[in-house]
Amino acid sequence: MRIFSGIQPTGRKHLGNYIGGILQYVAGQERGEAIYCIVDLHSLTVAYDPQDLRERLYDLAAILLAAGLDPDRCIFFRQSDVKEHTELCWLLANVTAYGELSRMTQFKDKSAGQRDFVSAGLFFYPVLMAADILAYQTNEVPVGEDQKQHVELARDVAQRFNSRFGETFIVPEARIPTVGARIMDLKSPEKKMSTTGGTEQGTIYVLDEPDDVIRKFKTATTDSGREIVRDSAKAGVTNLIDILSVARGVEPESIEKEFADAEGYAEFKQVVGEAVADYLRPVRDRYAELRPDEGRLEKILAEGAEKARAISTQTVADARRRMGLGPAS
């Protein structure tokens, strides 16, 4: 079982990123050969500051390591250090339909907010994501629910390539957590928690101080009722139940049972805030130890890139040969 996933360095990482993605990365180390990369090339598709991109990359590398990624148990690297990703992207572009890309939900959402300039890269980046995945003959891709469509595209591209040029790529499967796959904004629980489309007070950042975490939960939007149950009409309460169940490592039903006799939401929100603050504390503490040593972070990423190239170069060579590129032998 080979597992692959990538995560962008732009934006501060929040609780949704942590539960929906980072925790899956850590767990993947126990289930198979895990390969993870910081996809800095994807970050070029929107306006950004080059120095900030480098800083955010180190921030993210330290967070992932603090959360439990172990370079001795996984391959962890920076996407732009492995040039096979961009070469394979171009090869796969020729078995990807324009119509498929135009139907991508994230392109529609992100381009709507960029009226002055929408880069071709923003439109095209699902092909690069497919290359990221297929370059490593991936069996499983741990992603949040919002990335499922992109994994489906990678599957379609792999199948189309195999049909046209012969069996070359493993067709990957998405792995989405059953609880916590979609953590919502605390202030606007109808929207996903996000560093770009959410609210500041409704977003819990991985590196938030404990007091800030608790304060944000205290002001979380619920409803006019009193019942603490998961229900489509109670989006805010459902979100809090899901979050607490993950923080405690229990099923949501046990949370509902525990708070069945609660007399309101204030105490419940306090409990959730304290649980999440404690849940994130080890990551914050470990991050503070790792982040200052950028030389060490660079060494880890460089060693990971060397391991990644050992796999991706063979995949790209096979794809080139089957497409009729390069020498016949």
pLDDT in tens, 248-307: 999 999 999 999 888 789 999 999 999 999 999 999 999 999 999 999 999 999 999 999
pLDDT of residue 291: 97
Q: Kindly report the CATH number that applies to the domain delimited by 210-288.
A: 1.10.240.10
Q: Which residues pair with 7 in a beta bridge?
A: 38
State the DSSP string of 157-198. Answer: HHHHHHHHH-S-S---EEE--SSSSSPBPSS-TTSB--TTTS
Which residues, other chains included, contact 315 with Cβ-Cβ below 8 Å and sequence gap of 6+? 84, 88, 134, 135, 136, 137, 168, 169
More confident residue, 20 or 100: 100
For the chain, what are the domain ranges?
A: 2-180+293-323, 210-288
Q: Which fold has domain 2-180+293-323?
A: Rossmann fold (3.40.50)
CA angle, 142 then 143 then 148, to 5°: 120
Q: 74-78 and 33-38: which strand pairing?
A: parallel
> What average pLDDT does the segment 205-217 reach?
96
Q: Which residues of 108-137 are buried (b: 16+ CB within 10 A; e: fewer)?
A: eebbeeeeeebeeebbbbbbbbbbbbbbbb
* Contact criterion met (CB below 8 Å) for 129 and 155: no
pLDDT for 138 beyond 70: yes
* Contact criterion met (CB below 8 Å) for 107 and 122: yes
Which residues, other chains included, contact 68 with Cβ-Cβ below 8 Å and sequence gap of 6+? 26, 29
How far apart are the C-alpha atoms of 153 and 158, rounded to whole Å? 9
pLDDT of residue 116: 77
- Flag the least confident range among 87-101, 130-144, 190-204, 274-288: 190-204
pLDDT of residue 181: 63
* Contact criterion met (CB below 8 Å) for 69 and 36: yes
The residue with tokens 């599957």 is 155
Mean pLDDT of the chain: 92
> What average pLDDT does the segment 5-34 reach?
90
> What average pLDDT does the segment 24-35 reach?
93
* 47 band by pLDDT with thresholds 50, 70 and 90: confident
* Contact criterion met (CB below 8 Å) for 61 and 297: yes
The residue with tokens 């063979």 is 314
Q: What phi, psi does 2 have (nearest 5°)?
A: -110, 130
- Flag the least confident range among 44-48, 68-72, 110-114, 155-159: 110-114
Q: What is the pLDDT of residues 77-91, one digit of tens each?
A: 999 999 999 999 999
